[in-house]
Amino acid sequence: MIRSLRRMLVVALTAVALVAPAQVATAAAPTKAQVLADWTQPTAASTAKWNAARLDRAPWASYGFDWSTDYCSSSPDNPLGFDFTLPCWHHDFGYRNYKDIGTFTANKDRLDKTFYADMKRKCATYSSVVQPACYSLAWTYYQAVVIFGSVEALNR
């Protein structure tokens, strides 16, 4: 009796599995704009995500990101010995890729603020004796991109 109940249960479950529509939840891949937005926020976590992707680009190849950079353009990459190369690269990444998808103007302010936040995080890694000079340079670089960044981006 138990054996026949077990068989009936197996048959019933198999029939239900075959007849019921498969509800497979598949998450759609994020769009290029969504990935850009995730990687260009003025937070340490956002910058860390971008940097991890920069170091391992293969999973992101299908998005066609422009990873090229001229670092700090015509300004020194290491003013007074403060290394702003990665903040400048992150900034270039945002400018070039938002320009590519046609939404640069709508995102420029956030990209510039992210650049400033990246530089301030870099300044925080230096001795407290030299941090004020680093923060002053970061503010100067930030003001330069706020004022001249649109012109520079249009020339690329």
Just list the catalytic residues: 91
Which DSSP letter does residue 126 get? S
- Amino acid in the structure at residue 56: D
Residue pair 42/114 in contact (Cβ under 8 Å)? The answer is yes
Q: How far apart are CA 62 and CA 71, in angstroms?
A: 24
Q: Which tokens sit at 100?
A: 């590519």
Distance of CA 31 to the CA centre of its chain: 12
